[in-house]
């Protein structure tokens, strides 16, 4: 089967195409599907393997069912990687030895390709006495710096940097510092952050009451709940984090509340898990199931949806038995509860095919109907698997009284009552950034379409670039069927034209039909007033959501560039700007312990026509002549980047990811993995004081805003959705 566009083919080749020393590269994507089908069928009885493998292959063929990237890349490869995407680590003990043991466990998990989430609420707050050593505690954020530095050194399964979620309860005494942490553009770059918000806090907020900050049963501070909430909303407005997890609601709705307590979330928020909890993911591509798109009678084939659901449940259940696990505790947890996360992608495109605008009443009704089919058939399939293979080891009939099961039709409940369930939790809606690109650039997860078209620059072997248009699957289908007729604007809505209420309406209806949670980002325009933004999290709570993140372009993250006029679908790369006669700037001093002399970093700024300051040049100087060659090289290369473009945050990020195998150093209470990383920290600090201006992107959107510069391929194609930065050019993905 030919790919729907060249980008999909390139992503397959770069990320998922298996190359073995003996057989070479898989010739076609169908060979990838065959590898996955045969590998996952190995969990079946020998006499069934061939038949089940063929069933799996038919589901995978044509990108109708999309296992998560770990499964696509790793199943049947023989590599020492996990096929699970999501892990929450164990409860972190409040002692130094235990903390660093958990750092090691997280490193092992990241190294094998899993993303990890941690709750740091168990670590004593800043200034608390440490008995026996006559010292004061440095607090959970200082240890999060250690995790962050560790994560920068780990390349997950040789594919991408590790992804982490850091959580802190809203009653922890260090919660105010946690809320403000991402205001520092150099800190926690490998973390997503979420505040664990309790029901008691939301009640205090509604009553305009006080809120105690407590550790180990002792009240250390009392704040006004409304003030703390305002601080949280201001932080996410200014810096896009932290998100929120309504932790009491999560535990109250959990199918397995009778045998576990949810601790934290995986990096993107769709899986709230207990200690050492693990979940594997897969998505049904709704965009491929709509018959007669754009016609008055367009409809999703619900019989096909039901069959794919049953097949998806069986395939994911088998993955539990064929996957490796980084830690034995994770294997034991996964096999005791057999949790899976079956979800969807292409929802927005499927709605467009059916003439329903995302966020509208008809879209809500269709989403409820389609997800209702998935829920019913997933539970039916799991009960039938329990009859065939046995229920999950910790199955208890009281699960039938859990909220997610009370709404099932009686025939399904009777089947569960008679046979049990093979899986403790079944549904979840994950981010599908790269796999949605693989499937022809369908809309990802339950998100709206971010941009219907944009221009991608492809670097050629001779150093030149060629431009290549990339279109959303729905727009490409419209053009194929309707030619040059303009698409209806009232249906082809995007993330930039929707109000926050439209996002929340869709998330809320989906949450009522999903066991676990949903990876969802409410994208807001840069010019949204704080008064229109400040109630997003509160409204989400009232609507029944379990958690939420937002994204508004801002000076701290600087990720989204301005929209170019549609007529300017591509622009030439800007030439180096001439140096003005006089520039103003600042000089920073780095005392690097391994160097006999300090390093001085000077950054000079220029002011554009709109009065925005931006960095123009950098000088790195030291009396230590061992540094001369590489510091001169940095000076020239970084200055050239500064003079060519205004979007330079990636420079700081890339430098901060450099680690020295001989060891880093602690600077101002934070571990820095190398001297270049320290220089990157200076650049990030300087950028925080003189924010980069908004500039026209080299790769612009014909409809929708231009994305940011990708740190992997350099294309202006990086967008934020579902809690992840995803490059639409090369498929690079970073959650954190």
Residue 149: φ, ψ to 5°: -65, -40
- On the question of pLDDT at 317 being above 80, the answer is yes
726 belongs to a structural domain: no
- Per-residue pLDDT at 701 exceeds 50: no
Return the number of other C-beta atoms located less than 10 Å from residue 421's C-beta: 24
pLDDT-derived band at 334 (thresholds 50, 70, 90) equals very high
Beta strands in 312-436 (DSSP E): 340-345
Residue 388 CB contacts under 8 Å (≥ 6 apart), including other chains: none
**Lowest-pLDDT range of 116-125, 215-224, 356-365, 668-677:** 668-677
Could you read off the pLDDT of 353-401 as tens digits, one per residue? Answer: 999 999 999 999 999 999 999 999 999 999 999 999 999 999 999 999 9
Q: What value does the mean pLDDT of the chain take? A: 87
pLDDT at 321 over 90: yes
Which entry of 26, 105, 270, 653 is annotated as an active-site residue?
270
**Pairing relationship of beta strands 708-709 and 716-721 according to DSSP bridges:** antiparallel
Angle between the N-to-C axes of helices 302-322 and 361-389, in degrees from 0 to 180, rounded to the nearest 10: 50
Say which range, 353-367, 386-400, 560-574, 584-598, has the weakest mean pLDDT.
560-574
Is the pLDDT score of 716 beyond 60?
A: no
With cut-offs at 50, 70 and 90, classify the pLDDT of residue 303: very high
Residues 109-144: tens digit of each pLDDT? 998 888 899 999 999 999 998 877 767 889 999 999
Residue 667 lies in a domain: yes
Mean pLDDT, residues 61-81 taken together: 93
Whether the predicted pLDDT of 249 surpasses 70: yes
- Average pLDDT, integer, range 593-605: 83
> Residue 245: CB partners within 8 Å, gap ≥ 6?
167, 194, 195, 196, 197, 264, 265, 269, 272, 546, 547
**391 Cβ contact partners less than 8 Å away, ≥ 6 residues apart:** 419, 420, 421, 422
Nearest to 402, CA basis, from 188, 259, 580, 194: 259
- Catalytic, out of 266, 285, 318, 423: 266
**Helix crossing, 675-689 with 628-644: angle to 10°?**
30
Of residues 151, 268, 713, 730, which has the active-site annotation? 268
Q: Which residue shows structure tokens 């554009």?
A: 608
CA distance linking residue 245 with residue 361, whole number of Å: 27
Catalytic-residue membership of 266: yes
What's the confidence (pLDDT) of residue 703? 35
Please indicate whether residue 466 or residue 247 has the higher confidence score (pLDDT). Answer: 247
Give a yes or no: residue 600 inside a domain. yes
The answer to whether residue 573 scores a pLDDT higher than 50 is no
Please indicate, yes or no, whether the overall pTM of this predicted structure exceeds 0.75. Answer: yes
Asked whether residue 641 is assigned to any structural domain, the reply reads yes
Q: How confident is the model at residue 3 (pLDDT cuts 50, 70, 90)?
A: confident
Q: Both tokens of residue 63?
A: 């990108």
Confidence at 645, pLDDT banded by 50, 70, 90: low
Whole-number pLDDT of residue 23: 83
Q: State how far the alpha carbon of 7 is from the alpha carbons of 12, 712, 728, in Å.
A: 9, 15, 8
Comparison of pLDDT for 4 and 547, the residue scoring more: 547
Handedness of CA 689, 635, 626, 676 (dihedral sign): positive
Residue 495 has pLDDT above 70, yes or no: yes
Answer yes or no: is pLDDT of 715 > 60: no
CB burial class (10 A; 0-12, 13-18, 19+) of residue 553? Answer: buried
Residue 584 known to be catalytic: no
**Does pLDDT of 202 surpass 80?**
yes
Q: Name the residue range of residue 626's domain.
A: 584-689
Instruction: Name the packing angle between helices 361-389 and 410-419 (round to 10°).
Output: 20
Residue 10 appears among annotated catalytic residues: no
pLDDT digit string, tens, across residues 684-698 = 888 875 332 222 222
What is the structure's pLDDT at 562?
Answer: 34
Q: Average of pLDDT values for 478-493? A: 94
Token pair in block for residue 71 = 């499964």
Does residue 149 form part of some domain?
no
Per the model's pLDDT, the better-predicted residue between 156 and 363 turns out to be 363
Structural domains of the chain, count:
1
The helix/strand/coil state of 600 is strand
Task: Provide the percentage of residues in the chain whose pLDDT is more than 90.
Answer: 62
Structure confidence at residue 301 (pLDDT): 98
Q: Is residue 633 part of a domain?
A: yes
């Amino acid at each position: 089967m030919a790919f729907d566009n060249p980008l999909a083919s390139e992503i397959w080749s770069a990320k998922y195409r298996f190359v073995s020393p003996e057989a070479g590269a898989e010739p076609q994507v169908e060979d990838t599907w065959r590898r996955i089908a045969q590998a996952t069928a190995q969990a079946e009885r020998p006499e069934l393997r061939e038949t089940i493998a063929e069933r799996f292959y038919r589901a995978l063929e044509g990108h109708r069912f999309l296992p998560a990237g770990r499964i696509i890349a790793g199943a049947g490869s023989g590599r020492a990687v996990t096929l699970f995407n999501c892990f929450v680590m164990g409860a972190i003990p409040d002692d130094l030895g235990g903390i660093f043991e958990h750092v090691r466990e997280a490193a092992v998990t990241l190294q094998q390709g899993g993303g990890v989430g941690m709750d740091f609420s168990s670590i004593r707050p800043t200034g608390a006495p440490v008995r026996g050593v006559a010292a004061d505690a440095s607090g959970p954020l200082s240890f999060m710096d250690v995790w962050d530095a560790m994560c920068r050194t780990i390349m997950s399964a040789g594919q991408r940097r590790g992804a982490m979620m850091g959580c802190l309860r809203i009653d922890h005494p260090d919660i105010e510092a946690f809320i403000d942490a991402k205001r520092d553009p150099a800190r926690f770059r490998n973390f997503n952050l979420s505040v664990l918000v309790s029901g008691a806090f939301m009640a205090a907020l509604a009553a305009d009451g006080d809120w105690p900050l407590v550790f180990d049963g002792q009240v250390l501070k009392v704040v006004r709940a409304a003030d703390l909430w305002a601080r949280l909303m201001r932080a996410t407005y200014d810096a896009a984090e932290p998100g929120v997890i309504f932790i009491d609601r999560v535990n109250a709705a959990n199918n397995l509340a009778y045998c576990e307590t949810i601790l934290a979330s995986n990096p993107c928020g769709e899986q709230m898990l207990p200690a050492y909890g693990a979940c594997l993911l897969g998505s049904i591509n709704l965009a491929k199931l709509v018959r007669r798109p754009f016609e008055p009678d367009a409809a999703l084939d619900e019989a096909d949806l039901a069959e794919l659901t049953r097949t998806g449940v069986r395939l994911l259940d088998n993955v539990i038995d064929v996957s490796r696990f980084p830690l034995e505790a994770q294997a034991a947890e996964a096999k005791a509860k057999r949790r899976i996360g079956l979800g969807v992608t292409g929802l927005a495109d499927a709605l467009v095919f059916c003439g329903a605008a995302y966020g509208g009443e008809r879209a809500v009704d269709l989403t409820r109907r389609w997800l209702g089919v998935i829920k019913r058939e997933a539970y039916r399939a799991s009960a039938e698997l329990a009859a065939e293979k046995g229920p999950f080891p910790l199955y208890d009939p009281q699960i039938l009284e859990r909220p997610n099961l009370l709404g099932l039709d009686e025939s399904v409940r009777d089947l569960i009552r008679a046979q049990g369930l093979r899986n403790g939790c079944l549904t979840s809606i994950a981010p599908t950034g790269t796999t949605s690109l693989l499937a022809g650039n369908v809309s990802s997860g339950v998100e709206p379409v971010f941009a219907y078209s944009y221009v991608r620059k492809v670097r050629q072997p001779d150093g030149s670039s060629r431009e290549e248009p990339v279109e959303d699957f729905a727009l490409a289908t419209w053009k194929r069927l309707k030619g040059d007729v303009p698409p209806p604007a009232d249906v082809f809505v995007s993330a930039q034209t929707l109000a926050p209420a439209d996002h929340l309406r869709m998330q809320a209806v989906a949450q009522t039909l999903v066991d676990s949670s949903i990876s969802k980002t409410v994208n807001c325009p840069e010019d949204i007033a704080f008064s229109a933004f400040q109630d997003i999290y509160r409204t989400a709570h009232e609507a029944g959501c379990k958690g939420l993140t937002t994204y508004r372009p801002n000076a701290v993250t600087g990720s989204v560039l301005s929209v170019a006029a549609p007529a300017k679908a591509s622009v030439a790369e800007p030439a180096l700007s001439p140096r003005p006669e006089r520039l103003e700037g600042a000089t920073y001093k780095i005392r690097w312990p391994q160097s006999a002399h300090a390093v001085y970093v000077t950054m000079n700024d220029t002011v554009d026509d709109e009065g925005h300051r931006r960095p123009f040049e950098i000088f790195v100087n030291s009396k230590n002549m061992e540094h001369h060659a590489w510091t001169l090289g940095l000076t020239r290369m970084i200055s050239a980047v500064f003079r060519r473009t205004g979007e330079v945050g990636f420079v700081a990020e890339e430098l901060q990811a450099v680690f020295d195998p001989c060891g880093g150093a602690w600077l101002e209470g934070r571990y820095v993995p190398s001297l270049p990383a320290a220089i990157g920290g200076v650049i990030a600090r300087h950028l925080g004081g003189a924010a980069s201006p908004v500039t026209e992107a080299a790769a612009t959107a014909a409809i929708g805003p231009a994305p940011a510069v990708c740190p992997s391929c350099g294309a202006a194609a990086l967008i934020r959705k579902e809690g992840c930065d995803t490059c639409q050019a090369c498929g690079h993905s970073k959650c954190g």
